[in-house]
Chain A
Amino acid sequence: DQQVKQNSPSLSVQEGRISILNCDYTNSMFDYFLWYKKYPAEGPTFLISISSIKDKNEDGRFTVFLNKSAKHLSLHIVPSQPGDSAVYFCAASGGNMLTFGGGTRLMVKP
């Protein structure tokens, strides 16, 4: 039973445009959500997070939106750059354990 799902295994976007990555979760006890970025042959690196008391958190080109009623979060990257090409994982936590989605491979074309 997947508690965190990323339904799009891949996404292709033109450089300069917006990338929107989506994530759904089922466990209403989750109260902290994160996005990680992973390059080949490296570990996932933390990108941005949001607490359930907020519905938006912004850090430079990256914004995470949380819709608690829909149990949905999304990551917006504006403008997208070729260096953003990577696998993006969303993760959710209701305590000291993170549950990860399956990942979305983002390809940003020059």
Chain B
Amino acid sequence: DAGVIQSPRHEVTEMGQEVTLRCKPISGHDYLFWYRQTMMRGLELLIYFNNNVPIDDSGMPEDRFSAKMPNASFSTLKIQPSEPRDSAVYFCASFLGYNSPLHFGNGTRLTVT
């Protein structure tokens, strides 16, 4: 298996623009997570899905952030409008479930100027 695949690897955009990050989880994994890594807050969970259904989105910072999982092999995280403080590395991860390890993609480094 190719692992969790994220695109793009890098995204540079101007404040106010819409940003869409994409993720393909490992096949067969029922859970998908979006994390954000910053120097100040470390790895923080934004939202997770189980069987394509959002379960907990309490980590989503604002209404400008939204996430979807239209099918078992694809998820998006959208920021609209983007702001400079959204600059971070965004990771997608997936796993089989309880007491199994989480597998991460290589992340998308977002820079909002």
Contacts and interface: CB of A to CB of B under 8 A. Distances in A.
Asked if A and B bind, the verdict is yes
A43 B91 contact: yes
Given A32-B99, A96-B31, A96-B97, A41 B106 contact: yes
A33 B79 CA distance: 32
Contacts, number: 51
Contact of A96 (B42, B98, B106): B98
Contact of B105 (A34, A43, A99): A43
Contacts of B70: none
Interface of B: 4, 31, 33, 42-43, 45, 48, 50, 55-56, 91, 93, 97-99, 101-107
Interface of A: 31-32, 34, 36, 41-46, 49, 51, 89, 91, 93, 95-103
